[in-house]
Copies of this chain bind each other. A is one copy, B any other.
Amino acid sequence: MRILLINPNTTPEITELVAGHARTIAGQGVEIVPATGRFGARYISTRAAAAIAAHAALDGLAEHGKGCDGVYLACFGDPGLLALKEVSAVPVVGMAEASCHLACMLGRRFSIVTGGERWIPMLEEFVAGQGLSERLAGIRTVAPTGGEIARDREGALALLAEACRRCAEEDGADVVILGGAALAGLAGRLASEVPVPLICSVEAGMRAAVALARQGRTAPSGACPPTASVGLSEALARLLSRR
> Which A residues contact B (CB, under 8 angstroms)?
10, 38-43, 45-52, 54-55, 58, 80, 82-84, 86-87, 91, 93, 97-98, 101-102, 104-108, 117-118, 121, 125, 128-135, 145, 174-175, 191, 195-197, 207-208, 211-212, 217-220, 222-225, 227-232, 236, 240, 243
Given A41-B228, A228-B41, answer yes or no on A104-B130 (Cβ-Cβ < 8 Å).
yes
Given the complex of chains A and B, what is the CA–CA distance between A54 and B48 in angstroms?
9
Q: Are B121 and A131 in contact (CB under 8 A)?
A: no
Of the listed residues A51, A128, A129, A232, the one surrounded by the most CB atoms of chain B closer than 10 A to its CB is A51
Q: Can you name 17 A-B residue pairings with CB atoms under 8 Å?
A: A39-B229, A40-B229, A45-B225, A46-B87, A46-B224, A46-B227, A47-B83, A48-B58, A49-B229, A52-B54, A52-B55, A93-B105, A97-B105, A129-B129, A131-B135, A197-B217, A197-B218
Question: Which residues of chain B are within 8 angstroms of A131 by Cβ–Cβ distance?
Answer: 104, 131-135
Q: Are B41 and A229 in contact (CB under 8 A)?
A: yes
Q: Which 4 A-B pairs have the closest CB atoms?
A: A39-B231, A131-B134, A101-B101, A51-B83
Q: Are A230 and B40 in contact (CB under 8 A)?
A: yes
